[in-house]
Amino acid sequence: MKITLNLSSAPSPRERYALAWAVPVALVALVGLGLLSNSSLTSWRNYRKYHGALAEAESQEARLRQRQITLERELSRPEFSAIYRDTQFINSLIERRQFSVAELTQKVTQLMPVSVHLVGLALSHQEHERVVRFTVAGDKQEAVETFLVNLEDSPGFEQVQILNQGEEQTEAGGVQVVLTCSARYAGPESGPGNQ
């Protein structure tokens, strides 16, 4: 006869409870480990990608800095310094040669009495001079003469000449005095340095 002897103790309710939950907890842990591994792998790939992009940007910046140093060294040579100075001088001349018709019109209207208005304005270049031709109209002869005196006294205009003077009928049936004159515009040239 064979006798079997069981030396193990009976499992307690706590042990049975732990054994029942061991498998689901192990499965949840394996899934969590898989997700964590996947996240780590994705983070590592992103890190390598961004690290490569940063290294490329730094090397490009270093190349640009080296190119800037080379260009500055080239421009500091005496022959390029002279060209740079000449270019700046020519650009300043070009800026000073700019002319603003709006500024000219504003200067002319400041010389007019209230009862005189500008009918025509023409600008022409004769050799190195700018000649302006005005046609103004006013209600009274004295107002037009005041404009002419103001124009002659203005520092921006020289050599004022009367080209034509007369009277015209207005649409309302009245009479207005019309004056056409020319003057050499000697005012400051409009440009960024003179405004």
CATH number belonging to domain 99-185: 3.30.70.60
Mean pLDDT of the residues in the chain: 82
Asked whether residue 121 carries a pLDDT value surpassing 80, the answer given is yes
- Number of residues assigned to the chain: 195
Asked whether residue 48 carries a pLDDT value surpassing 80, the answer given is yes
12 vs 98: which has the higher pLDDT: 12
Would you state the pLDDT for residue 191? 36
Residue ranges of the alpha helices (H) in the chain?
13-75, 78-97, 101-110, 141-153
Confidence class for position 194, pLDDT limits 50, 70, 90: very low
What is d(CA 81, CA 64) in angstroms, rounded to the nearest whole number? Answer: 22
Asked whether residue 189 carries a pLDDT value surpassing 60, the answer given is no
Confidence class for position 46, pLDDT limits 50, 70, 90: very high
Question: Where in the chain are the domains?
Answer: 14-98, 99-185
Would you state the pLDDT for residue 60? 95
What is d(CA 125, CA 180) in angstroms, rounded to the nearest whole number? Answer: 18
For 148-176, write each residue's pLDDT tens digit: 899 888 888 888 888 888 888 877 778 88
Angle between helices 78-97 and 13-75 (to 10 degrees): 90
Beta-carbon contacts of 144 under 8 Å, excluding residues fewer than 6 positions away, are: 116, 136, 137, 138, 165, 177, 179
% of the chain beyond a pLDDT of 90: 24
Q: Rg for the chain (alpha carbons), in Å?
A: 46
Quick one: DSSP state of residue 185? E
Amino acid identity, position 136: V
Asked whether residue 63 carries a pLDDT value surpassing 80, the answer given is yes
Would you state the pLDDT for residue 93? 67
Would you state the pLDDT for residue 193? 35
Beta-carbon contacts of 156 under 8 Å, excluding residues fewer than 6 positions away, are: 107, 185, 186, 187, 188
Q: Give the predicted TM-score (pTM) of the model.
A: 0.45
Lowest mean per-residue pLDDT among 53-67, 78-92, 128-142, 163-177: 78-92
What is d(CA 64, CA 44) in angstroms, rounded to the nearest whole number? Answer: 30
